[in-house]
Every structure is written in C-alpha cells, then in structure tokens.
C-alpha cells in the first residue's frame, strides 16, 4: 500500500501491486506533505494539519487543526514528520508541534517561530534530537546547513544544539541507522554522523504494539507492528522477526513494520519477535509472542468498474470489468452473481425490458483484484448495467455489504429518461415537486424547484468514474432546461447548476446560493439570473469550486429573451489537457465557440474517481419552475470533445 497527495488537495491510497486507487479524499487546500503513524495518515497544507483514518484500505477525514505559518519568498514546501504521538510541521520560520494522543484530532501544542527564515524540514531520532535542514533565508542565498535541536519538550521549538556545514544547499534530510542523509542540492548527498559513538554500554529498551488485540490478528489483513524504544544515546535500528525469520529492518524512528497476515487455512498462528540495537551495538530482544489468527470479518467493496471510456461511436468492447479492494474468492463469480444487462427496446436502464447478456465467460485476476466478463463478439452499441450480487465473497467468505450496480454506455452517450426518477437521489424541493411526475408540453421533465425561498437538487444515484486504469477520462454532457412561470416575468431567479459531487444527497442553501453552497468537494457550472452582490451581473454563467458561489470564471449572456425559453448547455472536459469548455444557446444548436474555457483538474478537485452528477437550484423572492427537459452525457479516453 502506498499513500500520495497532490497540490490540488487529492489524497489517495494505492495498491502498489496493481496500481489500483483504493480510496481517495479531497482536502480544501493543496497538500504539502504526508506522514503515516499507526492507523492514521496525516496531511499538511499551508493552513491545517489533517488526520485521515485508515480502515479496510479506505481513507476517511477524521479531524484537523490549524498549522500557523507563512510560505517564504523561496516558495519552499512545508514538510511533516510524525512519530511517538507527536507531529512536527515546518513553515518558513520554524516548526509547529502537535499532540496526537487522540490520533483523529491533532492538537496544536506550539506555534514555533525562530529567527531563521529558511526552514525546510525537521526529523527526529526518537531520543530527543531533531535533525533539521535550515538556513537564514527562504531563498537560495546564504548558507543552508544541517542543525540539531533539542526536541524533548514539544513546547520548546527553538532549543539549538549545534550546526553541521554542508558544501551545497541542504534541502531535505532523513535518518537511517543513526546517520543523517542530506539532499544537498547540486552538491549531491551528504552523510552526517551527528551523534558520537555510544560507549555507555546501556542496552536499549523495546516493547511491541499492534493494531489488533494482544495475541490476536485477523487473517489476510494488514498488521501493523510498532516498536516503542528508548536508549541513553539513540536506537540505531529495529529488526522484526516472524516465525523466527528476519522479515524487516527499520532504521528510522518511528520503528514500524506492516505486512499481510497469513490465512488460517495455511497456518492457525505465527510467532512475532523484535530486536532493538543502539549505535554502540548494544541490543535487546522482546519476548517471543504467539499471534493467533482469527477469521476475517470485514466485507469487501467495489472500487471501480469499466469500461467507462467507450461511449464514442467508434468504440468496440467485448469485456466489462469490476475491481475490488481486496482479493476475492474466484469461485463465487458465477453467471448468477456477475451479470450484464442492456437497456432493451425502450433504451432505459432498470426497466422490465432490460436484456440479460448471455454467453459471456467470467475470469478473475487476483493480482489486480479484478473480475472480467468477456463475450466472444463485440457488444452492440447500447446502454448497459453491470450487476454484482452480494453473494460474491472475499477469501474469508465475507460477502459484499450490498448488491452493486453500475451503468455505462458502449458506443453511445447515456441519455437520461425523466419518466422514471427512481434512478435519482432527490433532495430538498426536488423530492416533493416531482410527486407525481411533472409533465410539460406533453413530456416528463426533472423539476428542481418551483416556489420561493427553497432549494433542490437531483443527482444520479449511481456514480460515474472519472478515471480508467489510472488515466483521467474526458467528460461531455448536453442538457436542455427551462424556467417556466418566472415571477419576474423574464427568466426568474436565482439560478441552477450542473454539479459534480461526492455525495448524492448534497444540497446547499436557497436563493443566490443556488442549492450549491458548502458542498465540498465539488465543481459546478452555474446558470445565474440574479445579482446577489458577489455576482458580476444578473445574467451570467460561471464555474464554481467546493461550494463557493464566487465563481472562478464567469461570462455574461443575453437575458432579454422570451420567458419560458428553452436553454441548451454543453459542458466538455478534456481529462488529459484538464480543460473545461462551456457553451450556452437558446436554440438546440451547439455553438462553435465556448463562452467559457477554464483549466481545472476535475479528478483532483473531486478527490476521488467515483463521483455523482446532477443538478442543483435555489430561489428566493424571485423564482420560477426550473425544469430539465433533456440530458445526455458520455465519458471517453483519450479526449473526444463534441465538435
């Protein structure tokens, strides 16, 4: 397992063997650094330290604390070190310390500030010494060396011990086996023996703790072993032994080892032991523990399905896939548990005339944790629904928590039928105004709102995926909408959005907040017809991020059209170029030139590949009936924006 973060705030957990992204979280700010301790991943931004809980290969935002400081003129990233229940977060003029006694809720102990403006990183050795890459300035002028600090008291963040000159510019540092390894910019790597040889002859102490109850571990699960050590100088390294064999050596504090436990069918228990060695060669062994394996009781989950990039008329597909977060039991994938349906004559998914596609063969790849249903000939261009029964299990026999269903289009965009809204999650006003179904001009519509001082939203209940095999997909959508019975006799306030969200129950406030406010993470394209003070004017479209109604880009449109006009909007996103285009017209003819062109990392903004798409709307004293009359969308890779 690997954890990574981006400058857009995206934090991901990745299965290293397959490259599959198992879980994602999006933070409001770009991430500077991450660090792992026990069952929490900590992410540092220029505003906060975030705690993300790790459970069943899943990331969940648990808590945060402010991390004061400034970015220096040199623009160097802030760095994070975590160990021994403390976090050390640098900024340009020092480092902040945090208490992690309650791992999910960091507590700021000291907002450190020194006379040095070139702090780049600090790491500790677990014995009260911090090794820091520091210079007087944040820019590259003057000396940037390695300094030692006394970190025994986390409330004291400027207890200088000594300095080691380096020939280059010390930009980063790490500790391994009692020595500091320095990234010294153009001078290369420097190795510093920062503490004298341990000749005191006192052996270190060591105790072990795991993420399971004492003497037990779940089979086939990630087991974390933490060695808590102490020494009169410093511990050089800790060796971890399983069944008498050396399996890992950790040369830097905190001393931890993670591995996948055996299956009970292979062995009912295993033995665990560790040895701590200090820099004088003195050693201490722990007592050997017998760890009894218990049954895996955690349900697996689906983390992706595909293809999600075959909606173009030239695409030919004969295989559909579903990927899981853990290794599954191969023989539970049967024709009864893994099915593919086409939309049938009515071209609507989830209706009685859906057609079961038969004759496919099922395979399972344990390395990628992916099940595939393959047909001998390409599938006809149509809308399809993948169905995975909860009878599918992992190796321990744990079934999926619930049946899984995912929709995709092959060779054609997904067109949404509003005669049956069961495929939608309706929130706020949209949950009430569509009962019974709304008919306008003889056709069913999706009504978002119809009266003042209210908001409504409607999102497809099944998510779409913005990536396939790690590659960002492109997205295109076209929808027609109408504001009927506008109270102002023209267009009617306040407006609506097309939105990408991570929760289909998302709903913001009424009025100028367009039913979109405070939805994080998210991206929306707004159609705004009322000037709320933060707007550029009373008739514009714009792109909004993370529930903020102050658009990152806007463009005015002509509001002086007949009431009840049917508007058409096209939104195209190139996943490779990270470019979004928005077009608007009062006739169903796609304009050649977009009104808005904006560069944005959609996948990074949302923080996860599986997202929900739909609409929000909000009105106040000026209102109207906001109806979506037609909607289609497709995903493609590489970019295939509509011409």
How many C-beta neighbours within 10 Å does residue 589 have? 8
Is the model more confident about 604 or about 248? 248
How does residue 79 score in pLDDT terms, banded at 50, 70 and 90? Answer: very high
How does residue 629 score in pLDDT terms, banded at 50, 70 and 90? Answer: very high
CB of 91 closer than 8 Å to CB of 79: no
Lowest mean pLDDT among 17-31, 42-56, 175-189, 343-357: 17-31
**In this predicted model, what pLDDT tens digit does every residue of 222-277 receive, in sequence order?**
899 999 999 999 999 999 999 999 999 999 999 999 999 999 999 999 999 999 99
- Above 50 in pLDDT, residue 637? no
List Cβ neighbours of 435 (8 Å cut-off, separation of 6 or more).
Answer: none
3-state secondary structure 596-635: EEEECCHHHHHCCCEEEEEEEEEECCCCCEEEEEEEEEEE
Q: What counts of helices (H) and strands (E) characterise the chain?
A: 2, 53
d(CA 356, CA 315): 21
d(CA 415, CA 631): 6
Q: Rounded mean pLDDT of the chain?
A: 90
CB of 238 closer than 8 Å to CB of 285: no
Portions of the chain given CATH number 2.60.40.10: 205-294
Domain 302-412, CATH among 2.60.40.1220, 1.10.10.10, 3.30.70.360, 3.20.20.10: 2.60.40.1220
Strands 179-183 and 625-636: unpaired
List Cβ neighbours of 441 (8 Å cut-off, separation of 6 or more).
Answer: none
DSSP secondary structure string for all residues of 367-382: TTTEEEEE-SSPPPSE
How does residue 643 score in pLDDT terms, banded at 50, 70 and 90? Answer: very low
| Element containing residue 21 per DSSP (H, E) | strand 21-26
> C-alpha distances in angstroms, 87 versus 11, 21, 346?
18, 27, 58
Lowest mean pLDDT among 2-11, 219-228, 544-553: 2-11
Q: Domain 415-636 belongs to what architecture?
A: Sandwich (2.60)
Lowest mean pLDDT among 224-233, 418-427, 464-473: 464-473
* pLDDT at position 118: 94
Percent pLDDT > 90 in the chain is 64
Is the model more confident about 107 or about 632? 107
Is the model more confident about 106 or about 401? 106
CATH fourth-level superfamily of 205-294: Immunoglobulins (2.60.40.10)
CATH fourth-level superfamily of 26-192: YVTN repeat-like/Quinoprotein amine dehydrogenase (2.130.10.10)
Instruction: Choose among 84, 97, 147, 151: nearest CA to 118.
Output: 147
Q: For residues 155-187, b (16+ Cβ closer than 10 Å) or e, as one string?
A: eebeeeeeebebebbbbbbebeebbbbbbbeee
Portions of the chain given CATH number 2.130.10.10: 26-192
**In this predicted model, what pLDDT tens digit does every residue of 491-533 receive, in sequence order?**
567 889 999 999 999 999 999 999 999 999 999 999 998 888 8
Portions of the chain given CATH number 2.60.120.200: 415-636
Phi-psi domain of 212 (left: phi exceeds 0; alpha: psi -120 through 50; beta: other): beta
d(CA 169, CA 35): 24
Of the spans 321-335, 452-466, 620-634, which averages the highest pLDDT? 321-335
Specify which residues 474 forms β-bridges with. Answer: 636
């Amino acid at each position: 397992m690997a954890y990574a973060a981006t400058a857009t705030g995206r934090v991901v957990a990745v299965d290293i063997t397959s490259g599959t992204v198992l879980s994602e979280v999006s933070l409001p700010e770009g991430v500077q650094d991450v660090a792992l301790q026990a069952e929490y991943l900590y992410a540092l931004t220029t505003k906060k330290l975030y705690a993300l809980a790790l459970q069943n290969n899943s990331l969940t935002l648990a808590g945060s604390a402010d991390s004061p400081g400034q970015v220096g003129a040199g623009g160097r990233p802030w760095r994070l070190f975590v160990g021994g229940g403390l976090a050390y977060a640098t900024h340009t003029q020092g480092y902040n310390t945090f208490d992690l006694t309650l791992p999910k809720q960091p507590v700021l102990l000291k907002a450190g500030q020194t006379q040095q403006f070139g702090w780049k990183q600090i790491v500790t050795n677990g014995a009260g010494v911090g090794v820091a890459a520091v210079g007087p300035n944040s820019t590259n002028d003057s000396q940037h060396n390695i300094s030692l600090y006394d970190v025994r008291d986390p409330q004291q963040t400027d207890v200088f011990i000594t300095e080691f000159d380096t020939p280059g510019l010390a930009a980063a540092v790490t500790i391994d086996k009692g020595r500091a390894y320095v990234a010294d910019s153009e001078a290369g790597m420097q190795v510093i023996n920062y503490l004298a040889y341990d000749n005191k002859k006192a052996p270190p102490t060591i105790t072990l703790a795991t993420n399971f109850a004492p003497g037990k571990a779940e089979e086939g699960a990630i087991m974390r072993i933490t060695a808590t050590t102490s020494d009169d100088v410093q511990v050089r390294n800790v060796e971890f032994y399983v069944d008498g064999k050396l399996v890992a050596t950790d040369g830097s504090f905190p001393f931890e080892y993670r591995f996948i436990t055996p299956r009970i069918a292979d062995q009912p228990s295993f033995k665990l032991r560790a040895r701590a060695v200090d820099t004088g060669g003195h050693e201490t062994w722990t007592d050997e523990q017998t760890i009894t394996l218990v049954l895996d009781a955690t349900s697996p989950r689906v983390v992706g399905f595909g293809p999600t990039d075959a909606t173009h008329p030239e695409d030919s597909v004969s295989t559909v896939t579903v990927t899981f977060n853990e290794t599954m039991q191969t023989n539970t994938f049967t024709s009864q548990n893994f099915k593919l349906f086409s939309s049938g004559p009515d071209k609507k998914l989830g209706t009685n005339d859906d057609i079961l596609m038969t004759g496919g063969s099922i395979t399972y790849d344990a390395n990628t944790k992916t099940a595939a249903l393959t047909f001998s000939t390409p599938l006809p261009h149509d809308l399809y629904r993948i169905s995975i029964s909860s009878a599918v299990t992992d190796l321990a026999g744990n079934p999926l928590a619930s049946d899984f269903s995912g929709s995709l289009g092959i060779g054609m965009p997904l067109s949404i039928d509003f005669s049956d809204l069961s495929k939608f999650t309706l929130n706020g006003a949209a949950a009430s105004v569509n009962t019974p179904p709304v008919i306008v001009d003889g056709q069913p519509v999706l009504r978002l709102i119809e009266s003042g001082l209210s908001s409504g939203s409607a999102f497809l209940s099944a998510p779409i995926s913005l990536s396939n095999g790690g590659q960002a997909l492109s997205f295109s959508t076209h929808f027609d909408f109408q504001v009927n019975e506008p109270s102002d006799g023209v267009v009617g306030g306040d407006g609506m959005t097309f939105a990408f969200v991570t929760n289909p129950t998302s709903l913001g406030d009424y009025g100028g907040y367009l039913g979109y406010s405070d939805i994080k993470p998210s991206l929306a394209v707004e159609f705004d017809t009322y000037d709320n003070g933060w707007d550029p004017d009373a008739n514009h479209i714009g792109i909004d991020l993370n529930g903020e109604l102050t658009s990152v880009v806007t463009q005015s449109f002509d509001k002086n059209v007949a009431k009840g006009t049917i508007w058409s909007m096209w939104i195209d996103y190139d996943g490779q170029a990270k470019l979004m285009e928005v077009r608007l017209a009062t006739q169903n003819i796609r304009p050649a030139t977009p009104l808005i062109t904006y560069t944005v990392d959609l996948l990074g903004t949302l923080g996860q590949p599986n997202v929900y798409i739909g609409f929000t709307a909000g009105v106040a004293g000026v209102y109207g009936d906001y109806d979506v009359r037609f909607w289609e969308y497709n995903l493609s890779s590489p970019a295939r924006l509509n011409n």
